[in-house]
Each structure stands twice: as C-alpha cells, then as structure tokens.
Chains A and B, each alone.
Chain A
Amino acid sequence: MSRVRQLRALVRKDVLLEAHTKETIVAMALFALVSMVIFQFAVGQRAGDSSLIAGGIIWATVSLAAVLGVGRTWVPEREQRVLDGLLTAPVARLTMFMARAIVLTLFLLAVEVVIVPLGIVFFTRQIAPSDLALMAGVCVLANLCIAVAGTLLASMSVFSRARELVIPVLLLPALVPVVIAASGATQAVLGPGTQLAEYLGYCRFLAVYAAVFSLVAYATYDHVLDD
C-alpha cells in the first residue's frame, strides 16, 4: 500500500474540507490582516526606519495567526466524530503527521501571500525583486518550523478537554526561536542593504529547528496518537 497515495489522499481531504467550509484560512488571513493594520497605526508613523522592525511585526503576526490554524487541526475529526474511522485505517501515524504538516504549511503560505506584501508596503520603502526570492525562502523555512511544531502539539492535545488553552500556551513559547530567526532573516533582507551572510545564518537555524522537531515527531508520533 503506497504511503504516497495515503499522504496525497489525506492532504486532498483537508484541502477539500477547507475549500468547502473556508473556516481556517479565512480566519487566519483576517486575523493577520487586522493585526497588520493595527501595527501600522501603532508604530508605522512613529518609527524612524520601520524596515528594522518589519520582520518582527510580520513574524509575530504570522505566529499568532498560526495558533488559529493549529487550533483548527483535528477539529473536523472531533466535531464530525470521524476520528475513529481515521485511526482504524491502516495508515502510519507518521503519514498522518506529514499530511497535517503539509496542509498547515499551505495554509500559512496562503496567509503570507497577503501579509508579507502588506508588511513591505507598510513598513519598508522599497524592495528589490531579488529580495522577494529571499523572502520566499524565509517563508518556506519558517512555515516548515511552525507546521512541524504546531502539528505535533495539536496532536498531543487532540484528546485534551482544554485544547483551546493548551495549544497557545505550548505553541507560542515553542515558536519564539522561529520568530527570532525569521525576523532576523527578514530584517537582513528588508533592512538597509541586504546582509546575505546574516540571512543564511538565520536560515540555517530555521532548518535545524525544523529538523529537530521532525525527529521528535518521528520518534514519538505513534505514541501520541495511539496511546
């Protein structure tokens, strides 16, 4: 039985559910949009060179929006009482994990398509086309980090009664290193003069973070869902 086929089916299922309900991406994007506007009113007019803080604002906003997305993980299964159907299927738990992480990465990318250009317009004066590619690199790496950590924590709390509280309390501290590194990489791109060495250093940190959390998920995910 092909794991790729199962993975594709699980990803397609989540995309179809989202296309029908539009509950997760719309909530994440609206929240992020409103947050960016609030940040613009709060600091946009006062900061001397706001490109220095643009990265922090973008990634703080993305990680808060991610809490909404992570919080919606497993909600259709719980609300529609289909979790037992999924858990009795002969699917490796790691395949379920990868599907969730891929879907969360896609949702975060959809939010960033709105947020990153808005952040550039609000907080920086100009950006070279080549810098957009570097920003895309930060987004992909940071999304992987958020998706891997978020999926693991969401699955750990799937049977918890207080999951709405548990997820932000556990996820936000876990994302602090991601916010620091992604903000640093963004500042290296959007700030005065692109600092390529600094950018690569932060990207390496993000890659290591994603790898470490992936290893933790690989080692524990069977027990997370089955026990």
Chain B
Amino acid sequence: MRVRGVAHAFAGRPVLAGVDLDVAAGERVAVVGPNGAGKSTLLRIMATLLTPREGTVAVGGTPYPEGVRAARRRIGYLGHDPLVYLDLTAWQNLRLFGDLYGVDGLDDAVPDALARVGLLPRAHDHVRTFSRGMAQRLGIARMLLHSPDVLLLDEPYTGLDAQGSRLLDGIVTGASSGTAVVMVTHDLARAHALCGRVVMIARGLLAWDAGTADVSHDQLAQRYAESAG
C-alpha cells in the first residue's frame, strides 16, 4: 500500500498536511498519535471512505479514486464499530457481505468465519442480542470473510474482552505473509508487541517511523511523549 502526499482538511481546518507511507505485503504497521492528530482520517482515506484533498493512495499498484472498486475488494476495514446490522442475524450479516464481495462457497465460508471468532453457536441470533464484544468479533469475521490483502484497523480492540483481544492479536500476528496490516491504536505496548513498525502522526504530519526491533517499548513511549508535546 502506497500513500503519497496525502493532505485533508475539515471545514478549512487542516487535519493531514502531506503524509507519505509505504506498507509492504506482509508488513504490520501501527499508527499512533495523540487525539486529533489525523490517524483515523488517514485510515479512512486509505479505506476509500474519504477522498483526500491532495495526494494519492494505491493498493498493489491500483490507485484510487480511479480504481476504487478494485481497491475495495482488496481491503478489509474494521473501525470502532463492528459495521454490521444489529437487526440481522450473524449469519445474515456475513451472507450479505459475502455476496457484496463476491465470495464463493458462502455455505461453507460463513460457518467457517463464525467458528473462527467463536460465534457459530449464535449464528442465527440477531446481533442486537449480542454484547459489544461479540458484535466486534462478528465485525472481525466480516472483515476477514473476503480474504483481503490489506487489513485496516481503527482502534479495533474497542469493546473486546480479554478473549476477544487475544483472538484479534492472533489474527494480526497470524495474517498470511501476503497480508499487510495497518492498525491505528493508542496502546503502545500492543503496537510494540504486534507490529514490526510504529509510525507517529502528530499535527497532521508523519513525525517519525521506527522499527520495533530497534527500539524498546520504553524508548517508544518516550519518543511518543516528546512528539505529542
């Protein structure tokens, strides 16, 4: 995934001021930064939800907005919310998104995805009856159903209990060698433990970019504090 010179503003207030970021296949990158730094805006632009005022984004050489539908097919996005319908069952939700992404063999793929996140026994229950964490696990199953090349995660641990967090940790670290992961998080310890790189966004700019093999968690926390001001 390649991000070049991306800038964006809301109501005239600059949020991103020219960010460059390359994420190779199989790489896991954590995006950290203080509130309002522009992390979620950057991720929403990468997920094709926002069109940047300036700059370009491309997945596997497919730039968008020109090749936006091809790019969307390769992206799995999970935000603070699970992005599933509360008034449909877990099965109906996955069936819907499977059809939208053109997933073959849904009769097998849906139960497999539900079993992976531990929701197979609740497959035919409406999501409204789920706890917040269960809904988020269904959101994880939705994100993975079409086997995306890029996982974009915006504070994905929101609402997850310890078991759900371990499940997501396993999905992030166990992503196939061709899958890139970009995760926005405030959890520096988890970013250091799970990701090979940590990039810091501050005041709409990429402040620094560090490999986690080169810095300890304490050093990371110190650099974060210095950049966040």
Contacts and interface: CB of A to CB of B under 8 A. Distances in A.
Interface of A: 1-2, 5-6, 8-10, 12-13, 16-17, 20-21, 76, 80-82, 84-92, 226-227
Given A80-B84, A88-B49, 13 more contacts: A5-B102, A12-B96, A76-B87, A81-B83, A82-B83, A84-B83, A85-B83, A87-B49, A88-B47, A89-B72, A90-B72, A91-B69, A227-B51
B88 interface: yes
B156 interface: no
B99 A8 contact: yes
The 10 closest A-B pairs by CB, nearest first: A85-B83, A9-B99, A1-B102, A90-B72, A89-B100, A81-B81, A90-B73, A90-B69, A80-B86, A88-B77
A199 B184 CA distance: 61
A79 to B, nearest CB: 8
Contacts of A2: 102
A6 B100 contact: yes
Nearest to A8: B99
A227 B51 CA distance: 7
Interface string B27-39: 0000000000000
A92 B70 CA distance: 11
Contacts of B85: 13, 17, 76, 80, 82
Interface in B91-112: 92, 95-97, 99-102
A173 to B, nearest CB: 30
A88 B75 CA distance: 8
Contacts of A88: 47-49, 72, 75, 77
A110 B146 CA distance: 36
A74 to B, nearest CB: 13
A209 to B, nearest CB: 31
Contacts of B122: none
A90 B75 CA distance: 10
B97 A80 contact: no
B78 to A, nearest CB: 9
B77 A9 contact: no
A76 B88 CA distance: 11
Given A5-B102, A20-B126, A84 B79 contact: yes
Contact of A6 (B70, B77, B86, B99): B99
B70 A90 contact: yes
Contacts of B86: 80
B178 interface: no
B190 to A, nearest CB: 23
A76 to B, nearest CB: 6
B142 interface: yes
B206 to A, nearest CB: 24
Contacts of B70: 90
A102 to B, nearest CB: 15
Contact of B88 (A8, A17, A86, A90): A17
Contacts of B75: 88
A12 B73 CA distance: 21
B211 interface: no
Contacts of B126: 20
A174 B51 CA distance: 31
Contacts of A21: 87
Nearest to A12: B96
Interface string B94-136: 0111011110000000000000000000000010000000000
A90 B100 contact: yes
A85 B88 contact: no
Contacts of B97: 85, 89
A152 to B, nearest CB: 21
B51 A90 contact: no
B170 interface: no
| Most central of B73, B85, B102 by chain A CB within 10 Å | B85
Contacts of B81: 81-82, 84
A212 to B, nearest CB: 27
A76 B85 CA distance: 8
Given A13-B96, A16-B92, A226 B51 contact: yes
A11 to B, nearest CB: 11
Contacts of A8: 99
